[in-house]
């Protein structure tokens, strides 16, 4: 069976409470003004408390070449956000987290001026630990880096990051601090 194109992938549309209200094709949900849909964002850390960030592959239809959190995506209709996060982490990074825990939810509406697309998402957040080296899929990930909180601040000031990155990071910080400990600086 041929792989689904971007427009054939269906997403769950949700209301402001995160209740599923229907489905839409992936690209149509991201066209302005954007339709609120379910998504997830993953933040992975090594045993030293450094965050894994990824640079999105240059061929991605949305936000290509920018840095972002460890992994993000959309559950298929009926798929749990946790299962989707674990699935996409393996598909994008070639590794499964040793631990993956819920870190809250956040809703946002971020236009991407470069593509004209819109991220209007009810985003389930996850934080986890990696004990193996990532093996990124080249069609998904351009580069990866493990960074401390200070290194991330420097990179964020100098390099392009996804429109949603700071929103999801700020919302996940309490769970990240619980996972990595207060000395990590997150």
15-58 pLDDT per residue, tens: 999 999 999 999 999 999 999 999 999 999 999 999 999 999 99
- For residues 169-176, give the mean pLDDT: 97
pTM of the prediction?
0.93
CB within 8 A of 41, min separation 6: which ones?
A: 69, 71, 72, 123, 124, 125, 126, 164, 168, 172
Tell me if residue 72 is catalytic: yes
Q: How confident is the model at residue 1 (pLDDT cuts 50, 70, 90)?
A: very low
Catalytic member of 12, 71, 72, 140 = 72
- Asked whether 105 and 75 are in contact (CB, 8 A), the reply is no
Write the CATH number of the domain with boundaries 9-181: 3.90.79.10
Active site residue 71: no
Of these residues, 12, 92, 121, 140, which one is catalytic?
121
* Tens of pLDDT, residues 147-163: 999 999 999 999 999 99
């Amino acid at each position: 069976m041929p792989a689904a194109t971007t427009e054939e992938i269906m997403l769950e549309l949700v209301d402001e409470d995160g209740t599923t209200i229907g489905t839409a094709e992936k690209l149509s949900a991201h066209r302005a003004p954007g339709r609120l849909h379910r998504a997830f964002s993953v933040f992975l850390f090594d045993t030293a408390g450094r965050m894994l960030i990824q640079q999105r592959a240059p061929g991605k239809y949305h936000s290509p070449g920018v840095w972002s959190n460890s992994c993000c995506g959309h559950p298929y209709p009926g798929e749990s956000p946790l299962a989707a996060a674990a699935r996409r982490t393996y598909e994008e990074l070639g590794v499964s987290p040793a631990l993956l825990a819920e870190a809250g939810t956040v809703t946002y509406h971020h236009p991407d001026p470069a593509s004209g697309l819109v991220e209007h998402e009810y985003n389930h957040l996850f934080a986890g630990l990696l004990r193996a080296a990532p093996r990124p899929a080249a069609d998904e990930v351009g580069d990866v880096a493990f960074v401390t909180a200070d290194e991330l601040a420097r990179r964020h000031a100098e390099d392009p990051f996804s429109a949603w990155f700071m929103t999801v990071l700020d919302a996940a910080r309490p769970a990240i601090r619980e996972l990595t400990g207060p000395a990590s600086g997150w």
